[in-house]
Amino acid sequence: MFGLFAELGIVAGAIALAVVIHWLVYRFVRRLADKPETQVADEVARRMRGPTLILVVVLAFRLTRPTRNLPPELAEGVQQAMSIAIIVLIGWTLIVMIGAVSKALTRRYDMGVADNLRARRVHTQVRVIARILIALVLILMGSSILMTFPGVRQVGASVLASAGLAGLIVGFAARSSIANFIAGVQVALAEPFRLDDVVIIAGEWGRIEEITTTYVVVRIWDERRLIVPFSHFLDEPFQNWTRTRADIIGSVFWHVDYTVPLDDLRAELKRITEASPKFDGRVCVLQVTDARPTTLEIRALVSARNSGDAWDLRCEVREKIIAYIQREHPGALPKFRTLAEDAPGRDKGELPPGGPPPAAGPIGDQISR
């Protein structure tokens, strides 16, 4: 009985000592990290306090060897359970550390500012790399847990002998997942797109909303979500409207009559854009881009700070120019002209086939809008 109490006292003392050492180390690290330039270390220390405390307690319990007086079968089960617990705690600690580092690194870069190119680059790289590292930690943790079972170790030789064939089978079955995983690493390094980038993919306009280890979520303008595998971005072309800058030039087209006063339209376009808060002041141009048999094709180029403002500005310019033509130059709206010539024999007093013509004004342009 005395030996049992002595052993329990040793275990309790070891756990208490581990807790005290952990508290001292934590206080020391927090004091070192309590500076503006060490935000990463402070975030890591704060979030890892719980996992590391449990880990040192389990390690202290394991080092005291409390199973010496237990039956062999029970002692082996307890030792294996503690080994699995240590592996899980180490994996949990590494995952928490990865999350803390990624959060601390991205906190410095606000994606809500107008010029958020650098912030989107950092957020994209950190998120993709963090997800890859977490996936590797989970794989290693699962493998280590399996190796604690004696049966797995005993069949290791036979598994190793068939590893080549099994690797080929698994690789063939998971070739798409592996390709997307590798493509994710390439995206993190090459940066063909980033979080919140505006892209045109599969004929849809949207923004990069989420990047996982194997696929990308694109938020379409009408709140739909397009799920795109990583490999699609590397195998198929797509448009990135914010690759280097967010500002963009938008175009507006009209078809008007040949009699339209172009100088008046240019002046009205300038007045409309300068009065709009969506216009960034860079580009405001009106040009005749085509002369068709019945109408002129007129194009206006206007610039905005981002694609959303450009869309709204284009709609505003299109509507107001149409209203201006209707109000000030209605004759410049598109029309078709037909010329009715004198019927044969009219100069000789003969009537055309079908009887006399209907009463009408002078023969001239017959206009249909």
Per-residue b or e along 135-155, where b marks 16 or more CB atoms closer than 10 Å to that residue's CB? eebeeebeebbeebeeeeeee
What confidence category does residue 285 fall into, taking pLDDT thresholds of 50, 70 and 90? very high
Residue closest to 230 by CA, chosen among 209, 211, 203: 211
Per-residue b or e along 240-274, where b marks 16 or more CB atoms closer than 10 Å to that residue's CB? bbbeeebbbebebebebbeebeeeebbebbeebbe
Cβ atoms of 132 and 75 closer than 8 Å: no
Whether the pLDDT of residue 299 is over 70: the answer is yes
Say which residues have a Cβ less than 8 Å from residue 48's Cβ, sequence separation at least 6: 93, 96, 97, 100
pLDDT digits (tens, 9 = 90+) for 347-356: 555 545 555 5
Mean pLDDT value of segment 193-210: 87
What confidence category does residue 321 fall into, taking pLDDT thresholds of 50, 70 and 90? very high
| pLDDT confidence of residue 157 | 44
What value does the mean pLDDT of the chain take? 75
- Please report, for the chain, how many H helices and E strands are present, in that order: 12, 10
Mean pLDDT value of segment 312-338: 90
Separation between Cα atoms, residue 124 and residue 171, nearest integer Å = 28
298, burial (CB in 10 Å: exposed 0-12, middle 13-18, buried 19+): buried
Cβ atoms of 201 and 218 closer than 8 Å: yes
pLDDT digits (tens, 9 = 90+) for 130-183: 888 888 888 888 877 777 776 655 544 444 444 454 455 545 545 566 666 677
Mean pLDDT value of segment 274-299: 92
Per-residue tokens: 221: 């303008």
Separation between Cα atoms, residue 107 and residue 216, nearest integer Å = 22
Mean pLDDT value of segment 59-83: 69
